[in-house]
């Protein structure tokens, strides 16, 4: 596994891979089985797989949330080595944002709803980092989980809008045995919060309406940001303490 930390170093390697199909799995580290499912799909579909690890400051509307975000780079690198990943791209912030984030993507409709309504600027940061990574890595395919359903749709639409020559491949949400959607943030939950967290998906699946789901979650002890139906999915974001959880289920 090759570890690359600069754009120019990657471009030097990319020239030698010009005839190979290349898959990209963008991550912010703190890897779990959900990430490994993305990687497995990429390895199935492509001759080479690149995983990026970059905790993107531009998508955190709350500085405290950025500070709390779990960081486990050495453990992540060992996991990727064991998984036979070909390359891992681990750039510092100034490699990704040499412009100090002066240039950014601003989508004006879907990004203002749901998570975007509660996290100003979040999707500007998400779309900007994804566009930059796609332009740097130049993959044939890039892999994103369906847990972040709004994010997935925005990325798909951005790729279409800018005529980017990449296929966005959605991968089904991986869940723990009790139904909790796998997330890097789960490791921040205390034991009591962790037991309660699995109720989020259960309420979304069994409630008759978004309003009913929101009420049930509040009664259980969640602080609800939103519950909404969108594209045959029921989406939700809710807090346990300071930890924000998101999920969605088909309806």
> Which residue in 152, 80, 86 sits closest to 114, CA to CA?
152
CB contact burial 18-47 (16+ within 10 A = b; e otherwise):
eeeebbbbbbbbbbbebbbbbbbbbbeebe
Residue carrying the six token digits 């949330």? 65
3-state SS, 196-208, equals HHCHHHHHHHHCC
Question: Chain centroid to CA 223: how far?
Answer: 22
Catalytic residue flag (residue 35): yes
The alpha-carbon radius of gyration of the chain (Å, integer) is 18
| Active-site position among 35, 118, 122, 202 | 35
**Where in the sequence numbering do the catalytic residues fall?**
35
């Amino acid at each position: 596994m090759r570890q690359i930390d600069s754009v120019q170093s990657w471009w030097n390697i990319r020239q030698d891979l010009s005839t190979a199909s290349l898959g990209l799995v963008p991550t912010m580290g703190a890897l779990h089985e959900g990430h490994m499912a993305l990687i497995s799909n990429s390895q199935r579909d492509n001759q080479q797989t690149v995983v990026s690890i970059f905790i993107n400051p531009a998508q955190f509307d709350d500085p405290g949330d950025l500070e709390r975000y779990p960081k486990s780079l050495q453990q992540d690198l060992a996991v990727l080595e064991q998984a036979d990943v070909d390359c891992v791209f681990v750039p510092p912030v100034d490699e990704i944002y040499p412009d100090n984030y002066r240039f950014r993507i601003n989508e004006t409709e879907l990004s203002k709803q749901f998570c975007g309504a509660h996290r100003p600027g979040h999707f500007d940061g998400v779309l900007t980092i994804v566009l930059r990574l796609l332009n740097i890595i130049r993959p044939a395919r890039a892999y994103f989980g369906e847990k972040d359903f709004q994010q997935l749709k925005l990325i798909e639409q951005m790729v279409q809008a800018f005529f980017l020559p990449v296929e966005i491949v959605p991968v089904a949400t991986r869940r723990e045995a009790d139904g909790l959607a796998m997330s890097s943030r789960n490791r921040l939950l205390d034991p009591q919060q962790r037991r309660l967290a699995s109720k989020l998906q259960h309420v979304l699946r069994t409630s008759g309406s978004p309003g009913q789901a929101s009420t049930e979650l509040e009664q259980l002890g969640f602080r609800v940001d939103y519950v909404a139906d969108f594209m045959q999915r029921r989406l939700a974001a809710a807090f346990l303490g300071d930890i924000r959880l998101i999920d969605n289920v088909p309806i």
